[in-house]
Amino acid sequence: MKSFLPFAIISAVFLCAVGSGSILYHTKKQRIAAAREAVAEAARKISLSAKRGAEPAHVRGPTDAPVTLEEFGDFQCQPCGDLSPVLEKLEQDYPRHLRVIFRQFPLGMHVHAGAAARASEAAGLQGRFWEMHDLLYYNRFIWPRSADVRPVFNEYAKSLGLDVERFNKDMDGEEVKARISADQLRGKSLGVDRTPIVLVDDHEVPISSLNPPGLHILIDQALKEKTQPAKGRK
């Protein structure tokens, strides 16, 4: 009996070791699977952002308008500034049929474009995105010449009745950065590499049509395409 005791002890130790190893193996396997799922979920979120852009988007005009015009803009881009009053006039010309979406796409070549994008988004968190958007474009020949644009943007924030302390915190906050990044991801997924880029119902507008007559033609065509099927069913 005593001769079998060492073998019994060895066997018990062996079985414990095997059992522990099996538990560790399955635990490690579960952790790896969880890590892979977390990476996959992050990738799905990035992909979703690339398709949708920041949400909620900055929209001017009826949310249920039949035609959507989406602009990828840079506040320090002069052609974007020149286009701004053209788009405002379009909103007046199509008050019930057009909604305009602005997407942030600050270009690295413009020194203050990133700060301007953050200023507009920070204003947006206080419900004044479009007001700051209009101020930045209206004063596009002034603030880009400043060595430090922050005091200038603070003055704009004051003129809009914003909480300036919160405005400054939000300008440097993660929510603002995430919104700009989401718009940039969407732009890159669509091949945007310059500004302004304008889409009418997801179709890029040629540069030659970025003018009142050209945009009117494209919007009228889009409206016609939306209304023809309805007429055909009557």
CA 210 to centroid of chain Cα atoms: 23
pLDDT higher than 80, residue 20: no
Interatomic CA distance for residues 114 and 171, integer angstroms: 10
What pLDDT, in 10s, does the model give residues 47-69?
A: 444 578 999 999 999 999 999 99
Interatomic CA distance for residues 41 and 193, integer angstroms: 27
Interatomic CA distance for residues 99 and 67, integer angstroms: 6
132 close to 156: Cβ distance less than 8 angstroms: yes
Interatomic CA distance for residues 71 and 86, integer angstroms: 12
Query: Model confidence at 100, in pLDDT bands (50, 70, 90)?
Result: very high
Query: Which is nearest to 213 in space by CA: 68, 93, 103?
Result: 93
Residue 6: the pLDDT is 60
Interatomic CA distance for residues 79 and 32, integer angstroms: 50
197 close to 71: Cβ distance less than 8 angstroms: yes
Share of residues in the chain with pLDDT > 90 (%): 74
Length in residues, the chain:
234
What pLDDT, in 10s, does the model give residues 125-177?
A: 999 999 999 999 999 999 999 999 999 999 999 999 999 999 999 999 999 99
89 close to 69: Cβ distance less than 8 angstroms: no
Query: Model confidence at 233, in pLDDT bands (50, 70, 90)?
Result: very low
Residue 43: the pLDDT is 43
pLDDT average, residue stretch 75-96 = 98
pLDDT higher than 70, residue 45: no
Query: Model confidence at 229, in pLDDT bands (50, 70, 90)?
Result: low
**CATH number of the 58-228 domain:** 3.40.30.10
What pLDDT, in 10s, does the model give residues 177-189?
A: 999 999 999 999 9
pLDDT average, residue stretch 218-231 = 84
Residue 112: the pLDDT is 98
Interatomic CA distance for residues 160 and 194, integer angstroms: 30
Place of tokens 């949708």: 52
174 close to 49: Cβ distance less than 8 angstroms: no
More confident residue, 91 or 18: 91
Query: Model confidence at 227, in pLDDT bands (50, 70, 90)?
Result: confident
Rounded to whole angstroms, the maximal C-alpha distance in the chain is 104
Structural domain spans, the chain = 2-52, 58-228
Q: What is the pTM of this model?
A: 0.77
121 close to 129: Cβ distance less than 8 angstroms: yes
pLDDT average, residue stretch 2-21 = 61
Residue 37: the pLDDT is 67
51 close to 176: Cβ distance less than 8 angstroms: no
